[in-house]
Structures are given as C-alpha cells and as structure tokens.
C-alpha cells in the first residue's frame, strides 16, 4: 500500500507492506536507524519518535497509521549541522553511556519541549516515565533535560 508522510521535514511517499510497523518503515525502508528497538511492546521507549507533535512508541504504530502524519526521528534533531540543545546537554552532562536508550529519551524530551514552554521537574519526569535506561540511573538524563529547558528559556 502507498503511504505519504513527512519525515524530518521531508515529504516521503512509499510503497510498503501493509503489516509493517512504523519502526520498521523508519529503520528498514528509510534507513533511519537512529530509532532503536528494545522491547517491541511499547514499554521501554527506545523506539520513541514524534508523530504529529506527540511522543509515541513506533513499535506499536503500524506504518499505515502514519499515512498523512508528520514524523520526527532523532536524525531530525540536528539542523544545518548543529546539534539540538538537548543533544548538546546530554553530551555535556554525561547522560549517555551505552547510548541505546538515548534516541528514545531525546525524542520524549523533545516532545515535552515542543508542547510545554516551561516544564517543571515533575513534568520532565512524567515525560520520560515511558523510557527505560539500564546504564545511567537517570539522574544525568534529567539534569541534561533540565539544563536544556533552562537554556531554551533564556534564549527566548
């Protein structure tokens, strides 16, 4: 079947297997392998992408359901060779160890910042409660997001 989407700002038209999941469409059809598969059940958040401005687990969305939607993946965070503020802060704060969960966390945090200009610490924790990390213990991830939020507020 044919689907039409906008992925990371670019129009994408593709012929796909009808049973394809969004995560497979992104990784296999579009070679956007930044989005990772963890649990395949929507519980770990590793596959989080932003669909129509909302964070979703791409392993529970069928590619056909993304027809007519706008998707942002971790590859879409960098603009004109410049890292997104979240990516900078993750690096600065040491919020990345093995890195496998990182794209998912970045997208959850990005979705938060897109929808909430002034998130509190509780808002941040709530936004990432669907993302699991086995390495960092979460503290540096939260600090990185807090810092990104603070800096974004200063810029505006």
Partner 1 sequence: MLSRRRKMFYSPVNRADLTELLGNISDNTFIIAGGTDLIIHLKNSKITDYSIIDITKIKEFHHISEDENSLHIGSTVTMTEICNCPIIRENYRALYDSAYNLGSEQIRNRATVGGNISNASQSADCSLVLFAYDAKVKIINSLNEEKILPIDEFIEGREKTVLKKDEVVAEIIIPKKERKSVFKKIGARKAVTISKISCAVDYAENNGKMENVRVFLGAVGIKPVEAVMLEEYFNGVSLKDINIEEVQQIAFKEVEKAIPTRASRFYKRIAIEGLIEDVVRDIL
Spatial distance between the Cα atoms of 14 and 20, rounded to a whole number of angstroms:
12
Instruction: State the nearest-atom distance from the C-beta of 75 to partner 1, in Å.
Output: 19
Q: Can residue 14 be called a binding residue for partner 1 (CB under 8 A)?
A: no
Count of residues that bind partner 1 according to CB under 8 A: 31
Among the listed residues 37, 60, 97, 135, the single contact to partner 1 using CB under 8 A? 60
| Cα dist from 145 to 2, 6, 36, 99, 142, whole Å | 37, 26, 20, 16, 5
- Of 91, 153, 87, 145, whose CA–CA distance to 121 is shortest? 145
Q: Can residue 29 be called a binding residue for partner 1 (CB under 8 A)?
A: no
Q: Can residue 150 be called a binding residue for partner 1 (CB under 8 A)?
A: no
- For partner 1, give the closer residue by CB, 55 or 96: 55
Q: Can residue 62 be called a binding residue for partner 1 (CB under 8 A)?
A: yes
Spatial distance between the Cα atoms of 15 and 2, rounded to a whole number of angstroms:
4
Spatial distance between the Cα atoms of 75 and 86, rounded to a whole number of angstroms:
13
- Of 83, 86, 65, 71, whose CA–CA distance to 30 is shortest? 71
Spatial distance between the Cα atoms of 87 and 77, rounded to a whole number of angstroms:
8
Residues in the chain: 156
Residue numbers 87-116 binding partner 1 by CB under 8 A:
108, 111-112
Among the listed residues 8, 21, 85, 106, the single contact to partner 1 using CB under 8 A? 21
Instruction: State the nearest-atom distance from the C-beta of 119 to partner 1, in Å.
Output: 12
Tokens of 74: 């971790």
Q: Can residue 48 be called a binding residue for partner 1 (CB under 8 A)?
A: yes
Q: Which residues would be at the binding site for partner 1 (CB under 8 A)?
A: 1, 18-19, 21, 40-43, 45, 48, 51, 54-57, 59-62, 64-65, 67, 108, 111-112, 126-131
């Amino acid at each position: 079947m044919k689907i039409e989407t906008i992925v990371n700002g670019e129009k994408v038209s593709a012929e796909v297997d009808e049973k394809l999941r969004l995560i497979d469409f992104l990784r296999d059809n579009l070679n956007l392998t930044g989005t990772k598969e963890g649990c395949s059940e929507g519980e770990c958040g590793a596959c989080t992408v932003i669909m129509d401005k909302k964070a979703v687990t791409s392993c529970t969305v069928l590619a056909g359901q993304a027809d007519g939607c706008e998707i942002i993946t971790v590859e879409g965070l960098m603009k004109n060779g410049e890292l997104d503020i979240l990516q900078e802060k993750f690096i600065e704060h040491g919020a990345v160890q093995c890195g496998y969960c990182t794209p998912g966390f970045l997208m959850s945090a990005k979705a938060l910042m897109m929808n909430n200009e002034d998130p509190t610490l509780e808002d941040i924790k709530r936004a990432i409660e669907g993302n699991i990390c086995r390495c960092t213990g979460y503290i540096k991830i939260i600090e990185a997001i807090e810092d990104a939020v603070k800096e974004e507020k200063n810029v505006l």
